[in-house]
Chains A and B, each alone.
Chain A
Amino acid sequence: MTLPDFKGPVILDIPADPLAMFIVRALVDKISAKIGFEPRQTDKLVLAVDEACTNVIRYAYKSAGDERIVITFSIGPDCFEISIRDFGSGADPQTFQGRDLNDIRPGGLGTHFIKSAVDRFEYDTPPGGGMLLKLTKFLPAEEKAQN
């Protein structure tokens, strides 16, 4: 199977609700597998996007249920980009630091999961408020060339 030649990105505009996250996971799973990532890498990408969205719900929106998250999937010649846009209060970048994994305690794993899934992790505070988190993963052939 080959990846369809998409004209432009795929945009998912979804309620900031934990109950809606299965839709995000299903979409990331399908796109990632179609691109040709190995199942383990696909699992990591699914987890990363899920964790990024739940961070938005928890920290940017303080779990209020009537907000939106806009996720943009772009497949370039050499990389898969996932941008997660929220319009919340703006998360403290310190929350992206994660924790020492030797410290066995509940919580603090989300950032570790996100960072370990992707090759590039960037965030921005666009005009209009909120946060834009951009996750980039090199496509399988590119990944080999990078290593």
Chain B
Amino acid sequence: MNIRIDERKPGVFVVSLGGDLDMSSSPQVRDMLLPIFRRKVSHIIVDLSEVPYIDSSGIATFVEALQLSRKGQVRFSLAGACRRVESIFDLAYLKNIFEMAPDLSQLIGGERDR
């Protein structure tokens, strides 16, 4: 699993993932993603465009992040999920619980990268 974290503008973090998000990689993603909520942050976006597969452990990581986001009043979004990943969120009845955008640009709009 490749994980990259960029602060695109002050307080706006993009976490880009690459590879299957499963039982072998979810702990690593969890360890990288959840500490961001302790930083000075207003919005965390997870870019899933390079994630071809997610299982229940990956979903659990995002549910945990969602709970932290609600507690800390941080916006938390998922971007670029492929058909398979989106259908797994749907199967878990979670598609409408998360803010999901077709691609990253829709969430960060015309913001310039730092």
B interface residues, tally (CB under 8 Å): 24
B residues within 8 A CB of A109? Answer: 56, 59-60, 92
Q: Is the beta-carbon distance between A104 and B91 smaller than 8 angstroms?
A: no
- Given the known interface contacts A106-B64, A107-B60, the answer about A112 and B53 at a Cβ–Cβ threshold of 8 Å is no
Neighbour of A116 across the interface among B53, B84, B91, CB < 8 A:
B91
Q: Is the beta-carbon distance between A110 and B87 smaller than 8 angstroms?
A: no
Identify the B interface with A (CB < 8 A). Answer: 20, 22-24, 53, 55-57, 59-61, 63-64, 66-67, 83-84, 87-88, 91-94, 97
Q: Is the interface of B mostly helix, strand, loop or mixed?
A: helix
**Count of CB-CB pairs between chains A and B under 8 Å:** 63
A37 CB, nearest partner CB in chain B, Å = 14
B85 CB, nearest partner CB in chain A, Å = 9
Q: Is the interface of A mostly helix, strand, loop or mixed?
A: helix
- Given the known interface contacts A18-B23, A57-B23, the answer about A51 and B91 at a Cβ–Cβ threshold of 8 Å is no
- The residues in A between 106 and 120 inclusive whose CB is less than 8 angstroms from any CB of B are 106-107, 109-110, 112-113, 116
